Every structure is written in structure tokens, then in C-alpha cells.
Amino acid sequence: MRVPLSPFWGLYARELLRTFRNPFVLILTIVQPFMWLAFFGSSFALLPASALESVTGTTATSYIQFLLPGVLSTSMLTVGMFGSMSTIQDKRFGFMKRILITPTSKGTVFVTKALGSASRGLVQFPIMIAAALLFGVSLRLSPLEWAAWIGGLMLLAIGFCSLFLAITARSTDWQTPGVVSNFITMPLMFSSGALFSSAHFPAWMQAISDYNPITFSALLGRSFVLGTATDWWYLGYLALFAGVMLSIGYFVSSRFLRVE
Amino acid sequence: MAEDAIVVDHLSKTYGSGDRAIRALVDVDLSIRSGTVFGLLGPNGAGKTTLIKALTGITEITAGDARVAGYNIRTQPMEAKARIGWVAAEVILDDDFTARENLWLQAKLQSLKGWESRADDLLAYFSLADRADDKVSHFSTGMRKKLEIALALLHQPRVIFMDEPTMGLDVSTRRMLWDIVTQVRKEFDVTVLLTTHYIEEADALCERIAIIDHGRILAEGTPSELKARVSGDIVQLETAEAVDPTLFASIAGVQEARPQGNDWMIRVGSSEAFLPQLFRRIQSDQIRKISVEKPSLETVFLDITGRRIGDDEPIRDVRRFYAQMQRARR
């Protein structure tokens, strides 16, 4: 007897199991955002309150408090890169062929890679929260706010994983995800409101920021962390971003995913 | 009479287009009877792996058609894939997983329910039961090959594709695998399509063999039928200088003499009768190298293609490499 969705759960579980059995990848996933928080976050530690308010455009009591949702959001970009690297590894070691000689579609492979990588990225969340608490950030969120924050990050990660997987669908070169990451990460990170308030951006950069999904995720999380009014539409924008990217990635992978 | 497990109908596969087009398979026709071990014998680049990719739905067919396990691989790929197993040249397993977890994942990919008892039976059959919960990264090459065959058998397929399954294995592991292939075919009632460039492997394992080269099936039959195509012996001769072709025609028993530069492939009724006559006509110092081969799949391949199956193989033997370089300079 055949079980529907069985390949999906099998491949999804494989993605997660492989991560937890590979301490090196796990440590790398966690260390990078932690470094951002520790070093970049501390760089404004001695800034007077009025200057901090000017830089952040908020009532954040410390730069780390302001930065936490932003760093978590930008780290979802890296998750996309790891997702496409794992796909290329499967192609090069022949595992993709093993999968696709079974009644498992390319679309299923894509969705499990996108969701698996996104879920893996969320491993950073509790670690970063713990780190922020250690740095003295006060977090008083309701269960709904916690869920919405995590949900928003998950949607952002799904979107970026889908984007990376679509771009690298035909590639078998280890270096491609890194090149794509360099091309995408910097502009998206600095043109978002993740690291600084976008109020000081020039008009053209402000325009990019207004449509940058990292901005939506950072502002959503920041509203919870700072206890300010939440614009719930941000969650809707992130869902739209994830949905559109997932659809594009599904289409591209179903047609163009290379087996080896 | 049982339906053929694999039917290939005028199948062609071309990579690229225009001037850069590479015709990997050209008008291939094959019928493989259920429950047999069928061999595709050919050198590297002959089209063996491409044919397996086409029959497993991994690559799109450019023209023609194929039915695998009763299903059209173009129009019913998922139905066909649910009934095929695959053993690769290189072992492809999840090294971070245990043997049982690899079987679990294969069961998930095949959407199987109640696979556990079948997995236990296979682990026991392949003498892996006591290592079932060990990571496969700790397995020997032979154990990994056995596990890979167990994965291929888990969903009770009708057809197993084995793409150069013994490539790179040492002699004893290769022999072990030959025994396994023979047993598996009998005990699990599957059809095995095996590709190889090892002549002795095809001869030992396959009930029928197709010789493939440059994407075309050049001959097909049982090993005995193929060997019967070559009547007499094949003498390979390398001379220091060019030889007048009429020389061979004047020797009794010569059926054919094919030149390849200063090399000659001469088909004779009996090498025992031919050689003394040859030595009377050619000075011994003119002969650089001479060899005689009795009918075998090697001579069949030589007879059909005019070259040896290993001629295009990458050179791994340094001495052989230098010998070839010296010959090329001469």
C-alpha cells in the first residue's frame, strides 16, 4: 500500500536529521548571527540615548534590542544559501538521481528542500533569544507575538530558500550559491530596515526598503520586542513573498532541476 | 508467456542541438524478457548509462518510446518508477544515516507502508542484520554495495537497473557481487538490466547481451550466440612497416584482414594453420607484436567494432601509458 505525502515527510525529516547530525553545520548556522549580535550590536553600546534614538528611529534602550529582529531576519538569507548548497551536494553525490528514480517528483524535492532549510534556519531563534537576554535585552512578548515573530521569520526563510533554489536549479557548481549569496545578501541587507532605521536612507534606497521583505520581517519583530504598535499587514506581505517565491521555485524546479 | 519487462522501441537521445548535438543513443531497439539478467556491454561513452537514464525517466527521450515493467516511461513515469530499482556504479547512501534509516528513507520515497518486516528480511538476507543500526559511513565497500542492492529490492520491483555495479571494486568483492546478482534474480524474481564494460562479467552473469557502441546496438544474443558469430580465431598483428594487403589473401584459411595503420586484425579459420604460413611470408624482425584470440565476447566486440572494448578506457596504468606514448611517437 502506498502512502500519500510519504516522500515529502521522508525528505523533510532527512533535511533536519542531517543538520542535527552535522555539528559543524549547526555551529556555523548559529555562530554567524551570534557574532553579528555580539560585535556589531555592541558597537553602539556607549552611544548616548539621544544619538541612539536618532540612529534607530525608535525608543530602543540598546542597539542590541533594536538589532535582534534585524539580525534574525538577515540570517534567513544565509539559510537560503545553505539550502541550495545542500541541493548541489545531492546532485554531485548522485543522491538526487536516487531520489528521482523513485516516484518522487522534482517539485516535492524542491518543497522539502525549501521547508527543510527554512526550518533549519529557525534553530537560530532560541539561541539568539538566549544571547539577547544575556546581553540584557528585556523581552516581554505574548504567546501570539512569539508565534507571529517565528511565523514571519519562517515565511521569510521559505521565500529566500525558494529564491536560491530556483536560481541554482540547473547548477552543479559548489561555488554558485556563494556567488548568488554575495550578489543578493549585501543589497538586500543594507537596503532594509534590519540594521538601521530606513528614515535616513536616500529616496531611491527608501523605495527599495519599502518592498524589501527583510524590512517587513525586521519591523514585525521589532514591534514585538519594543512593545510598539504592530502592523499585522507585514505578516501578510511576508506570506505573499513566501507564496510567490515558493510558486516560482516549484515551477522552475519542476522544469529545470538538474539531476546531476 | 510472460510480458517483456523492458521494451525499447526506436529510442534515440540527443544532447544539445545543431552543430554541437551529441547523439548518445541512435534508434535503439530492445526487448528484455522478464526474469532474466540482460547485459549491455560496451566501452565508456558507448551510451549504456544514457540508456539506463532514459529507461528510469531521469533523462528525456528525444525520439522513440520505451516500456518498463509494463508502463510507458514517457507517459507513465511514476507508475514505472514504482516498479524499478537502481544500483549505481558509485555507492550512493546517506552516510550520516544507519543502514535501517537508509531503508526507512527509501521506503518513504517509494511511499511504502509496512516496510519494516521486508527491511528486516533484506538485512538478514544480505548479512547486515547485526549492523542495521550502525552508520553506513563505517561500512566496508562490500557492505555498502549489499545495502544499496537491499534498497533497490525494498519495494519489490519488477526490474532492477545496475549501472556498472562492480566498477572500481576489488576482485573478491566483484565476485561476491556476481553471486549476489545471480541469487537476487532467482530468489526475488526480478529482471536485471546490467551495464558493464567487463567482458568476463557480461559472460558470467547475463543470459542475453547487447553490444552497444557509439549509441547503437550492434549485436544482441546469448553469449553463445554472439560467440558463434565469430568463426575461427582472430590474429592481431603489429608490423614495423606497412604490409601489402594481398599477402594475407594469399594465405589459405584467411577469412578477413582489416588494416589499422601498421596493425592488422586478421580473422582466420585456424590460427594453428595460419601462423606457420605467415612466418614464412614475413620476416620475423618485421613483426613487432602478434597475438591470437579464440572466440570470446572480446573477439566478438573486436570483430564488430574493429577495436577492443578497453581501447577508449582512461589510462590508469602508468607503464601502459608510457608504452602507448612510445608507440605514438614511433
DSSP for B274-321, please give it.
HHHHHHHHS-GGGEEEEEEE-SSHHHHHHHHHSS-TTTTS----HHHH
Q: What is the pLDDT of residue A232?
A: 92
Query: SS3 of A236, please?
Result: helix
Burial grade of A137 (CB within 10 A; 0-12, 13-18, 19 or more) = buried
Averaged pLDDT score across all residues of chain B: 87
Q: What is the pLDDT of residue B330?
A: 46
Rounded to whole angstroms, how far apart are CA atoms B267 and B299? Answer: 10
Query: SS3 of B265, please?
Result: strand
pLDDT above 90: percentage of residues in chain B: 49
One-letter amino acid of B245: P
Count CB-CB contacts under 10 A for residue A43: 11
The predicted model gives B109-117 an average pLDDT of 92
Cross-chain Cβ contact B88/A98 below 8 Å = yes
Rounded to whole angstroms, how far apart are CA atoms B164 and A116? Answer: 33
Inform me whether the pLDDT recorded for B79 exceeds 70.
yes
The predicted model gives B189-214 an average pLDDT of 91
Higher pLDDT, B65 or A200: B65
The predicted model gives A224-235 an average pLDDT of 92
Cross-chain Cβ contact B109/A11 below 8 Å = yes
The predicted model gives A121-149 an average pLDDT of 91
Beta strands B263-268 and B254-260, pairing class: antiparallel
Per residue in A87-101, is it b (16+ CB within 10 Å) or e — as a string?
Answer: bbebbebbbbbbbbb
Q: Sorting pLDDT into bands at 50, 70 and 90, what band is B314? A: very low
Count CB-CB contacts under 10 A for residue B121: 14
Task: Collect all residues of chain A within an 8 Å Cβ-Cβ radius of residue B57.
Answer: 100-101
Q: Sorting pLDDT into bands at 50, 70 and 90, what band is A3? A: low
Please enumerate residues of A whose Cβ is less than 8 A from a Cβ of B. Answer: 1-4, 6-7, 9-11, 13-14, 17-18, 21-22, 93-95, 97-105, 259
Q: How far is B81 from chain A (nearest CA, A)?
A: 5
Among the partner residues A7, A94, A105, nearest to B92 by beta-carbon distance? A94
Inform me whether the pLDDT recorded for A10 exceeds 80.
yes
Cross-chain Cβ contact A101/B58 below 8 Å = yes
Select the residue from A5, A86, A92, A98 to test the B interface by mutation, using most B Cβ atoms within 10 A: A98
Residues A153 and A125 sit within 8 Å (Cβ to Cβ) = yes
Task: Collect all residues of chain B within an 8 Å Cβ-Cβ radius of residue A7.
Answer: 108-109, 111
Strand stretches in B4-75, DSSP E: 6-15, 22-32, 37-41, 63-68, 71-72
User: Max alpha carbon distance in chain A (Å)?
Assistant: 68
Task: Collect all residues of chain A within an 8 Å Cβ-Cβ radius of residue B104.
Answer: 10
Cross-chain Cβ contact B58/A102 below 8 Å = no
Averaged pLDDT score across all residues of chain A: 89
Inform me whether the pLDDT recorded for B141 exceeds 80.
yes
Cross-chain Cβ contact B113/A10 below 8 Å = no
Higher pLDDT, B315 or B25: B25
Task: Collect all residues of chain B within an 8 Å Cβ-Cβ radius of residue A9.
Answer: 108
**Per-residue cell: B134:** 550502525
The predicted model gives A135-141 an average pLDDT of 89
Say how many CA atoms lie within 13 Å of B234 toward its Cβ: 22
Rounded to whole angstroms, how far apart are CA atoms B91 and B37? Answer: 21
Burial grade of B291 (CB within 10 A; 0-12, 13-18, 19 or more) = exposed
Inform me whether the pLDDT recorded for A4 exceeds 70.
no
Among the partner residues A1, A14, A98, nearest to B113 by beta-carbon distance? A1
Q: Is the dihedral of CA A40, A42, A48, A52 positive or negative?
A: positive
Angle at B329 between CA B323 and CA B330, to 5 degrees: 90
Which DSSP category does B20 fall into? G
Q: What is the pLDDT of residues B15-53, one digit of tens each?
A: 988 888 899 999 999 999 999 999 999 888 899 999 999
- For each of the domains in chain B, give its residue range(s) and CATH number, in order of start: 34-57+77-227 (3.40.50.300), 229-329 (3.30.70)
> What ipTM does this complex have?
0.86
Question: In the block, which residue shows the cell 513515469?
Answer: B77
Q: Point out which residues pair with B194 in neighbouring strands.
A: B39, B162
The predicted model gives A42-70 an average pLDDT of 86
Residues A165 and A81 sit within 8 Å (Cβ to Cβ) = no
Closest by alpha carbon to B51, among B43, B313, B59, B207?
B59
Q: What is the pLDDT of residues B10-20, one digit of tens each?
A: 999 999 888 88
Interface size, chain A vs chain B, as Cβ–Cβ contacts under 8 Å: 79
Edge-to-edge, what's the strand order for the sheet holding B263-268?
B254-260, B263-268, B233-239, B287-293
Q: Sorting pLDDT into bands at 50, 70 and 90, what band is B316? A: very low
**Per-residue cell: B220:** 544482441
Q: What is the pLDDT of residue B130?
A: 95
Q: What is the pLDDT of residue B325?
A: 53
String of DSSP letters for A154-202: HHHHHHHHHHHHHHTTT---THHHHHHHHHHHHHHHHTSSSSS-GGGS-
The predicted model gives A88-94 an average pLDDT of 91
What string of H, E and C letters represents the secondary structure of B71-118? EECCCCHHHHHCCEEEECCCCCCCCCCEHHHHHHHHHHHCCECCCHHH
Cross-chain Cβ contact A21/B96 below 8 Å = yes
Q: What is the pLDDT of residue A165?
A: 94
Q: What is the pLDDT of residue B65?
A: 95
Among chain B residues, CA nearest to A23:
B96
Among chain A residues, CA nearest to B114:
A1
Rounded to whole angstroms, how far apart are CA atoms A74 and A212? Answer: 11
Cross-chain Cβ contact B56/A103 below 8 Å = no
Which DSSP category does B4 fall into? P
Q: What is the pLDDT of residue B243?
A: 80
Query: How close are the terminal C-alpha atoms of chain B, in Å?
Result: 59
Q: What is the pLDDT of residue B75?
A: 95
Beta carbons within 8 Å of B221's beta carbon, 6+ residues apart: B208, B209, B229
Q: How far is B88 from chain A (nearest CA, A)?
A: 9
Inform me whether the pLDDT recorded for B310 exceeds 70.
no
Q: Sorting pLDDT into bands at 50, 70 and 90, what band is A235? A: very high
Query: How close are the terminal C-alpha atoms of chain A, in Å?
Result: 30
Q: What is the pLDDT of residues B235-268, one digit of tens each?
A: 888 888 888 878 888 888 888 888 877 788 888 8
**Per-residue cell: B224:** 553463445
Mean pLDDT lowest among A47-56, A122-131, B137-146, B202-211: A47-56
Among the partner residues B90, B97, B111, nearest to A94 by beta-carbon distance? B90
Q: How far is B67 from chain A (nearest CA, A)?
A: 15
Among chain B residues, CA nearest to A18:
B96
Count CB-CB contacts under 10 A for residue B220: 17
Q: What is the pLDDT of residue B2?
A: 62
Cross-chain Cβ contact A103/B108 below 8 Å = no
Inform me whether the pLDDT recorded for B76 exceeds 90.
yes
Rounded to whole angstroms, how far apart are CA atoms A92 and B60? Answer: 20
Listed ranges A176-180, A185-189, B73-77, B256-260; the one with the highest mean pLDDT? B73-77
Cross-chain Cβ contact A95/B112 below 8 Å = no
Q: Is the dihedral of CA A27, A30, A35, A36 positive or negative?
A: positive
Higher pLDDT, A44 or B140: B140
Question: In the block, which residue shows the cell 518522487?
Answer: A104
Q: How far is A15 from chain B (nearest CA, A)?
A: 11
Element (H, E) at B192: strand B191-196
Q: What is the pLDDT of residue B172?
A: 83
Q: How far is A237 from chain B (nearest CA, A)?
A: 34
Cross-chain Cβ contact A93/B82 below 8 Å = no
